[in-house]
């Protein structure tokens, strides 16, 4: 499907191709495609000549839409020639352009030349284009024992709006095992390298599609999301924390996984999986850790020298196609290696991307946490990024620390360049947190000394102590009232029980005896209640609760009278040999009033208990 789309695209280009934009001619094009990892790199050396009378200051580069959607990085630099010592050259400006009357299926980029080309002048420059997700696994699903085969599509001819005099193409593969490849005129293969050309005198927008199907068991490590947080401490450290969500982006694994087979023959029963990743940390990195949500992962190795620190990390399990994992790497670096001062401002100069080798990052978020009190914050990055600011609050912070957040999609190792965050910071602000700690401990010790030497006991002659004592006495009296009322209610329950026994046995004398015993007990409880009510009525502290207590006593007495009336009515009925139905009808209204009164008494008891 992708191959047919590619051919259709090139056919459209051939139909819609228009005359050259200028009299520029590419006298020589040398392209090298590196397929040695899952990141595709195309390095082209172009020699451009001006064959017309008008001066030219820019050169157009053309890329098909299928390639542009996977393009992560594009850079043009002056060619220094073979054998010369490569110094840090300045990249030529590259920007997207939309020339008129050009095929819509192409995207054009304009490269600005350092000097305009007059008639007969020439200029040689290099173009590096980096692509992600450009290798398609075929088959798309493999078992544990299968090797991984991928397909790459390209044109043997350099696609350009200019005529090309001489061009050649070299495709470098990770291994000499090649399933198939497109054979054209002047095609040679040397081990793991396929060469096409040279081809001469090709017109504008020339094309010749090629497809290479080959073995690639390189780690297809893709970070779907990476969040890098760099916290600056002016006490001498930059703490870097990186949160990874990783996936194997190669052919999907199918079938069962055998740990035994993998450990016995990992190169045969797990050739497509990757077991470890390598991260090149800064030279003086320290306090390195590698863990996930479970805890620390011990399968890591760290070694370094004065030039670099290398961290080899192994996931908890081998990563097959489609498998995912999440982990965190953290380390500290000396502040003086990355923080500088210029024109009254401090600036952090640190790398942008991940230190892991050959890692593709779908979404990268970089957060630089500046010290609290930083101001006049600005950013300088070598490429376009999405930028915003937020605030993060740590312990002992008052206003929070400013955070410069950057986001970029489709990130490759070529993006791991230095960027700068500029800000102003007052050195006296460094004393804020130490002074807060010292002041806090000082006031704590002063409070302890005052507490140990001060007499905070309450005098027994003070008004507060007397009020507290009186309230405790009121509480004790109310508790006794509640206990007496409770005993009265229990006596009422016993009378009700005697009536139930009467209806069952018909023993009137036993019922009268229970009535007599209840009368005596209730009289004694009434005597006990009188002094308590007198005390509460005379105590100012009981003014709030006294009305409820009096209401409770009155309701209980009313309830007591109703119970006695009911008891007398039922006993008289039995003595007169009245029927059970007649007796129930006579006391039905009384029973309803008893239930309502009992509920009121219970509610008052609960209310007083809460007070």
CA distance 215 to 173: 8
Could you tell me the pLDDT band of residue 387, with boundaries at 50, 70 and 90? very high
Could you tell me the pLDDT band of residue 257, with boundaries at 50, 70 and 90? confident
Question: Does residue 232 register a pLDDT over 50?
Answer: yes
Question: In whole angstroms, what separates CA 46 from the centre of its chain?
Answer: 45
CA distance 170 to 32: 5
Q: Which of 209, 210, 211 is nearest to 13 (CA)?
A: 209
The rounded percent of the chain whose pLDDT value lies above 70 is 93
Confidence at residue 179, expressed as pLDDT on a 0 to 100 scale: 92
Mean pLDDT lowest among 94-98, 365-369, 380-384, 554-558 = 554-558
The dihedral region occupied by 169, where left means phi > 0, alpha psi between -120 and 50, and beta the remainder, is beta
Could you tell me the pLDDT band of residue 429, with boundaries at 50, 70 and 90? low
Q: Which of 412, 363, 131, 130 is nearest to 244 (CA)?
A: 363
CA–CA distance from 217 to each of 143, 321, 480 (Å)?
13, 11, 88
Q: Which of 114, 130, 115 is nearest to 38 (CA)?
A: 130
More confident residue, 368 or 10: 368
> What is the mean predicted confidence (pLDDT) over 425-440?
78
DSSP 8-state secondary structure symbol assigned to residue 462: S
Confidence at residue 21, expressed as pLDDT on a 0 to 100 scale: 61
Confidence at residue 11, expressed as pLDDT on a 0 to 100 scale: 43
> What is the mean predicted confidence (pLDDT) over 177-203?
92
Counted residue by residue, the chain has a size of 611
Question: Does residue 580 register a pLDDT over 80?
Answer: no
Question: In whole angstroms, what separates CA 122 from the centre of its chain?
Answer: 53
Question: Does residue 4 register a pLDDT over 50?
Answer: no
Mean pLDDT value across the chain? 86
Could you tell me the pLDDT band of residue 82, with boundaries at 50, 70 and 90? low
- With residue 372 as reference, give the H or E element that holds it: none
HEC sequence for 465-501: HHHHHHHHHHHHHHHHHHHHHHHHHHHHHHHHHHHHH
Most confident region among 145-149, 258-262, 395-399, 503-507 by mean pLDDT: 145-149
What sign does the CA torsion over 283, 286, 290, 293 have? negative
Most confident region among 290-294, 360-364, 389-393, 539-543 by mean pLDDT: 360-364
CB-side neighbour CA atoms (13 Å) of 391: 9
CA–CA distance from 552 to each of 346, 477, 558, 559, 597 (Å)?
79, 14, 10, 10, 10
Is the overall model pTM greater than 0.75, yes or no?
no
> What is the mean predicted confidence (pLDDT) over 400-410?
93
Q: Which of 154, 164, 100, 113 is nearest to 131 (CA)?
A: 154
Question: Does residue 14 register a pLDDT over 50?
Answer: no
Mean pLDDT lowest among 123-127, 164-168, 327-331, 539-543 = 539-543
Question: Does residue 9 register a pLDDT over 70?
Answer: no
Residue 435, SS3 per DSSP: helix
Confidence at residue 591, expressed as pLDDT on a 0 to 100 scale: 81
Confidence at residue 15, expressed as pLDDT on a 0 to 100 scale: 40
> What is the mean predicted confidence (pLDDT) over 198-208?
92
Domain ranges of the chain: 24-81+92-215, 221-425, 467-610
CA angle 466, 468, 474 (to 5 degrees): 105
CA angle 104, 138, 225 (to 5 degrees): 70
Residue 540, SS3 per DSSP: helix
Contact 40, 131 (CB under 8 A): yes
> What is the mean predicted confidence (pLDDT) over 10-28?
63
CA distance 20 to 24: 8
Confidence at residue 459, expressed as pLDDT on a 0 to 100 scale: 57
Q: What CATH number belongs to 221-425?
A: 2.60.40.1730
Could you tell me the pLDDT band of residue 504, with boundaries at 50, 70 and 90? confident
Question: In whole angstroms, what separates CA 409 from the centre of its chain?
Answer: 17
Give the strand order in the sheet containing 178-181: 136-137, 149-155, 209-215, 178-181
Q: Which of 75, 66, 70 is nearest to 44 (CA)?
A: 75
CA–CA distance from 123 to each of 28, 187, 529 (Å)?
11, 28, 117
Confidence at residue 85, expressed as pLDDT on a 0 to 100 scale: 47
CB-side neighbour CA atoms (13 Å) of 447: 6
> What is the mean predicted confidence (pLDDT) over 419-426?
92
Confidence at residue 340, expressed as pLDDT on a 0 to 100 scale: 93
As a whole number of angstroms, the longest Cα–Cα distance in the chain is: 143
**What are the structure tokens assigned to 146, written together?**
């299968």
CATH of 24-81+92-215, one of 1.20.1740, 3.40.50, 2.60.40, 1.10.3470: 2.60.40
More confident residue, 581 or 115: 115
CB-side neighbour CA atoms (13 Å) of 488: 30
Contact 92, 38 (CB under 8 A): no
Contact 536, 516 (CB under 8 A): no
CA–CA distance from 240 to each of 65, 269, 279, 281, 605 (Å)?
37, 37, 13, 10, 66
Could you tell me the pLDDT band of residue 330, with boundaries at 50, 70 and 90? very high
């Amino acid at each position: 499907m992708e191959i047919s789309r590619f051919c259709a695209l090139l056919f459209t280009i051939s139909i819609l191709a228009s005359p050259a934009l200028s009299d520029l001619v590419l006298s020589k094009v040398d392209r090298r495609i590196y397929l040695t990892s899952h990141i595709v790199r195309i390095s082209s050396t172009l020699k451009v000549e001006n064959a017309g009378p008008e001066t030219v200051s820019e050169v157009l580069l053309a890329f098909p839409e299928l390639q542009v959607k996977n393009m992560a990085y594009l850079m043009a630099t002056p060619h220094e020639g073979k054998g010369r010592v490569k110094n840090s050259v300045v990249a030529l400006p590259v920007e997207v352009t939309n020339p008129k009357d050009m095929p819509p299926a192409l995207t054009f980029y304009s490269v600005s030349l350092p000097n305009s080309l007059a008639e007969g002048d020439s200029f040689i420059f290099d173009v590096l284009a980096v692509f992600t997700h450009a290798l398609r696994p075929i088959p798309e699903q493999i078992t544990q024992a299968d090797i991984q085969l991928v397909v790459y599509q390209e044109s043997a001819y350099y696609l350009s709006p200019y005529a090309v005099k001489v061009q050649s193409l070299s495709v470098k593969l990770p291994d000499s095992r090649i399933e198939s490849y497109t054979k054209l005129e002047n095609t040679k293969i040397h081990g793991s390298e396929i060469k096409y050309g040279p081809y001469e005198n090709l017109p504008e927008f020339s094309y010749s599609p090629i497809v290479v199907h080959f073995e690639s068991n390189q780690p297809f490590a893709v970070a779907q999301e990476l969040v890098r947080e760099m916290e600056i401490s002016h006490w001498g450290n930059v703490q870097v924390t990186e949160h990874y969500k990783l996936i194997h982006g190669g052919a999907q694994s199918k079938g069962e996984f055998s740990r035994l087979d993998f450990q016995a023959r990992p190169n045969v029963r797990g050739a497509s999986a990757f077991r470890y990743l390598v991260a090149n940390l800064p030279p003086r990195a320290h306090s390195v850790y590698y863990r996930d949500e479970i805890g620390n992962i011990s399968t890591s190795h760290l070694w370094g020298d004065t030039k670099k620190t290398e961290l080899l990390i192994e996931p908890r399990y081998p990563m097959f196609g489609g498998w995912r994992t999440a982990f965190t790497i953290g380390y500290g670096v000396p502040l003086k290696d990355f923080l500088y001062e210029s024109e009254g401002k401090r600036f952090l100069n640190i790398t942008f991307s991940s230190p892991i080798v050959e890692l593709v990052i779908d979404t990268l978020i970089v957060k630089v946490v500046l010290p609290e009190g930083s101001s006049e914050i600005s950013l300088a990055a070598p490429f376009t990024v999405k930028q915003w600011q937020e605030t993060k609050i740590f312990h002992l912070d008052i206003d929070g620390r400013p955070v410069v957040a950057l986001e970029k999609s489709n990130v490759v190792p070529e993006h791991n360049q230095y960027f700068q965050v500029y800000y102003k910071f007052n050195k006296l602000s460094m004393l804020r947190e130490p002074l807060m700690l010292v002041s806090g401990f000082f006031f704590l010790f002063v409070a302890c000394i005052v507490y140990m030497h001060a007499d905070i006991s309450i005098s027994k002659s003070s008004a507060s102590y007397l009020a507290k004592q009186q309230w405790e006495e009121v509480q004790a009296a109310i508790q006794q009232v509640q206990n007496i009322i409770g005993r009265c209610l229990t006596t009422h329950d016993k009378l009700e029980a005697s009536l139930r026994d009467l209806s069952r046995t018909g023993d009137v004398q036993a019922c009268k005896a229970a009535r007599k015993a209840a009368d005596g007990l209730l009289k004694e409880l009434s005597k006990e209640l009188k002094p308590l009510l007198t005390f509460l009525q005379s105590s100012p502290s009981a003014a709030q609760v006294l009305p409820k207590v009096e209401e409770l006593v009155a309701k209980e007495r009313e309830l007591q009278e109703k119970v006695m009336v009911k008891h007398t009515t039922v006993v008289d009925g039995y003595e007169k040999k009245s029927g059970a139905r007649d007796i129930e009808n006579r006391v039905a209204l009384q029973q309803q009033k008893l239930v309502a009164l009992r509920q009121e008494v219970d509610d008052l008891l609960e209310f007083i208990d809460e007070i």
